[in-house]
Amino acid sequence: MIIEHIDAQLPGIVTDRHDFRGDQTIVVAAENLLAVVDLIHREGFQLLVDITAVDWPQRPSIQGSGAAGRFDVVYHWLNLASQERLRVKVPVADGGTVPTLTGQFKTADWYEREVFDLFGIRFDGHPNMKRLLTWDDFPGHPLRKDFPLDGGDVFCMEGCTAPFNNGERNQER
């Protein structure tokens, strides 16, 4: 139902959609995300349930176009009045950015930090884009598919600049 509203008010913005097991899903480009969020926020989707991402390292080569990008940033919304759920997926290339939602949803703050921490996707305009779960000097982004399961380097100290590792703490922060 909400998808028809989006289609009517923002025609052509939804690039893909599916409805697997009753989960309505739309795909929008990163530059259109804020327009969609504005609309669905007005339509009553006020509980931002979750932000996460999925890594598809093979995808650009499969689809042949650079538009798709390596990652999907996945948002889940819940409409408290109608109990409708909506999943919005935003494809983003490695090194690309997604606009932050911290302006509308305070809960986006930590979720976006977590996605940055685990996937290395940056959010444009986020007030505090720092790692959430791992530490500042952690090498790499663990939930990327090319990150080894055992962490690779057992002490995770490669490139570490903490004082106990023969270097100064990163000053640029």
Partner 1 sequence: MESIAMTRQQLDGDKMIVNMGPSHPTTHGTLRIILELQGETITKATPEIGYLHRGVEKLGENLSYQQFIPLTDRLNYCSSIMNNVGYTTAVEKLLGIQIPKRAQQIRVLVSELARIADHLVCVGVNAVDIGAFTAFLYLFRQRETIYDLFEMAAGQRLHTSFTRIGGLFRDLPEGFVPLCERFLVECEESIDEMERLLTRNPIWHDRTKGIGAISPEDAVNWGYTGPCLRAAGVPQDLRKAQPYLGYETYDFDIPIGTTGDVFDRYLVRTEEMRQSLRIIRQVLDRLEPGPVMIDDPKVALPSKEKVYTRMESLIHHFKLIMHGMDMPVGEVYSATEAANGELGFYIVSDGGKNPYRIRVRPPCLPIFSSFEDQVKGGLIADAVAVLGAMNIIAGELDR
Residues in contact with partner 1 by the rule CB under 8 A: 20-21, 23, 25, 46-50, 52, 54-55, 74, 76, 80, 83, 85, 87, 105-107, 109-111, 114, 118, 130-136, 142-143, 147, 149, 169
> Toward partner 1, which CB reaches closer, 10 or 39?
39
> Toward partner 1, which CB reaches closer, 10 or 138?
138
Smallest separation (angstroms) from partner 1 to the CB of 58 = 11
Question: What are the Cα distances from residue 71, in Å, to 8, 18, 116?
Answer: 28, 18, 12
- In sequence order, what are the residues at sequence separation of 6 or more whose Cβ sits closer than 8 angstroms to the Cβ of residue 111? 48, 50, 51, 52
> Toward partner 1, which CB reaches closer, 1 or 135?
135
47-55: strand order across its sheet: 14-20, 23-28, 85-92, 71-78, 47-55
Smallest separation (angstroms) from partner 1 to the CB of 46 = 5
Smallest separation (angstroms) from partner 1 to the CB of 159 = 17
Count of all residues that appear for the chain in the document = 173
**C-alpha triplet 152, 157, 159: angle, nearest 5°:** 100
> Toward partner 1, which CB reaches closer, 10 or 74?
74
Of 42, 43, 46, 40, nearest to 26 by C-alpha is 40
Ordered alpha helix ranges (H), 28-130: 33-42, 59-63, 108-119
Smallest separation (angstroms) from partner 1 to the CB of 32 = 21
> Toward partner 1, which CB reaches closer, 15 or 46?
46
Smallest separation (angstroms) from partner 1 to the CB of 165 = 14
